[in-house]
Chains A and B, each alone.
Chain A
Amino acid sequence: MSFDGHDIPLLAALIAAILAPLAAAFHVSRGGSQGAPRTPAMIALLVSLVAGLTITLFWMSGPEVTLELGQRLGGGYLVHVDGLTAVLLPFVGLVELAIVMVAPNRFLDGPATVRILLGAATTLALFSTAHPLVLIVAWVVTALPTWWSTRATAGGQTAARVYAIMMTLAVACMAIGTLMMIADPPWEAGGGFLGASGGWLVALAVLVRKGIVPFHSWYPALFRGAPMSTALAATMPQIASYTAVRLFFGHADHGDGVGAELVVLSQLALLTATYGAALALVQRDLRGLIGTLAMSQSALVLAGLAGKLPMELNGAFCTWISSGLALTGLGLVGWALESRAGPLSLETPQGRFADAPLLAAFFLLFGLSSIGLPGTLSFVADDLLVSGSLDEQLHAGLLVIAATVLSAISVMRGWFMVFGGPSNLDGPRHHLLPRERIALTALFATIVLLGLWPAALVRELERAGSDLLGVPVEAHGYDAAAVGWGTRR
Chain B
Amino acid sequence: MTFSGAALPVAQLFGSLESQAASTHAIVSLLVVLQLAAPALTLFLVGLPALVDRPLSERATTRFVGGAFTLAFLAGLATLAVLAMRGFAPEQVHLGTWFSVGHHDATIDLVADGLSVPYVCFSTGLCALVNAFAGKYLHREPGFTRFFVLLTLFGTGMNLMVLAGSIDVLFAGWEFLGISSTMLIGFFHERTNALKAALRAFTTYRICDVGLLTAGVMIHRAVGSGDFERLFNGVWPNGHCLVSPGHATLISLLLVFAAMGKSAQVPFSNWLPRAMEGPTPSSAIFYGALSIHAGAYVLLRCEPLLDAAPVARGALVVIGAFTAIHAALVGRVQTDLKSMLAYASMTQAGIIFVEIGLGFRVVALVHIVSHAILRSLQILRSPSALHDRHELEAALGGHPGAASWSVVGMLPERTQSWLYRVALDRGFEEMVLSRFVIGPVWRLLERLGGAELAWIEWLGTRPEDRGRDTAGRRMQGGWR
Contacts and interface: CB of A to CB of B under 8 A. Distances in A.
Interface of A: 107, 153-162, 165, 217, 220-221, 224-228, 278-279, 281-285, 287, 309-311, 314, 335, 338-339, 342-343, 345, 349, 351, 353-354, 358, 361, 364, 368, 372-375, 379-380, 383-384, 386-388, 390-391, 397-398, 401-402, 405, 408-409, 412-413, 416-417, 419-423, 431-432, 437, 441, 454-455, 458-459, 462, 476-478
Given A343-B478, A420-B195, A458-B99, A279 B445 contact: yes
Contacts of A380: 98-99, 106
B209 A405 contact: yes
Contacts of B100: 455, 458
Nearest to A150: B480
A37 B174 CA distance: 47
Nearest to B473: A157
Interface string B88-101: 00000000011111
B206 interface: yes
Interface residues of B, number: 64
B455 A217 contact: yes
A311 B101 contact: yes
19 contacts: A155-B480, A161-B462, A217-B452, A228-B480, A282-B448, A361-B51, A374-B176, A380-B106, A384-B104, A390-B214, A397-B217, A412-B198, A417-B195, A420-B190, A423-B190, A432-B53, A441-B51, A454-B99, A476-B102
Closest 4 CB pairs of A and B: A158-B460, A155-B476, A338-B479, A476-B102
Contact of B206 (A351, A398, A408): A408
A363 to B, nearest CB: 12
A310 B103 CA distance: 9
A391 B221 CA distance: 7
A154 B480 contact: yes
Q: Considering residues A227, A282, A354, A380, which has the most beta carbons from chain B within 10 angstroms of its beta carbon?
A: A282
Given A217-B452, A282-B448, A420-B195, 9 more contacts: A155-B478, A279-B448, A284-B449, A287-B477, A343-B479, A387-B220, A420-B186, A421-B189, A478-B102
A422 B202 contact: no
A409 B202 contact: yes
Contacts, number: 191
B109 interface: no
B198 A375 contact: no
Contacts of A160: 460
Given A421-B192, A478-B103, A342 B479 contact: yes
Nearest to B168: A383
B446 interface: yes
B136 to A, nearest CB: 23
Contacts of B171: 374
A382 B71 CA distance: 34
B220 A283 contact: no
Contact of B195 (A368, A390, A421): A421
A422 B190 contact: yes
A481 B116 CA distance: 40
A128 B400 CA distance: 81
Interface in B83-142: 97-104, 106
A194 B99 CA distance: 43
Contacts of A309: 102
A162 B460 contact: yes
B431 to A, nearest CB: 21
B476 A282 contact: no
B229 interface: no
B468 interface: no
B237 to A, nearest CB: 28
Contacts of B480: 107, 153-156, 225-228
B429 interface: no
Contacts of B18: none
A183 B183 CA distance: 58
B445 A454 contact: no
Contact of A412 (B50, B189, B199): B199
Given A380-B99, A458-B101, A416 B460 contact: no
A412 B180 CA distance: 12
Q: Considering residues B202, B214, B475, which has the most beta carbons from chain A within 10 angstroms of its beta carbon?
A: B475
B203 interface: yes
Interface in B195-239: 195, 198-199, 202-203, 206-207, 209-210, 213-214, 216-217, 220-221, 224
B10 interface: no
Contact of A310 (B101, B182, B189, B455): B101
A386 B213 contact: yes
Interface in B423-471: 442, 445-446, 448-449, 452, 455-457, 459-462
A151 to B, nearest CB: 11
A169 B461 CA distance: 17
A221 B456 contact: yes
B396 interface: no
A162 B101 CA distance: 41
Nearest to A432: B53
A476 B101 contact: yes
Contact of B210 (A349, A358, A401, A416): A401
B172 interface: yes
B53 A431 contact: yes
A349 B175 CA distance: 25
Contacts of A402: 210
Contact of A455 (B99, B206, B445): B99
B195 A416 contact: yes
A375 B172 CA distance: 8
Contacts of A284: 449
B460 A437 contact: no
Contact of A165 (B189, B213, B445, B459): B459
Contacts of B459: 161-162, 165, 217
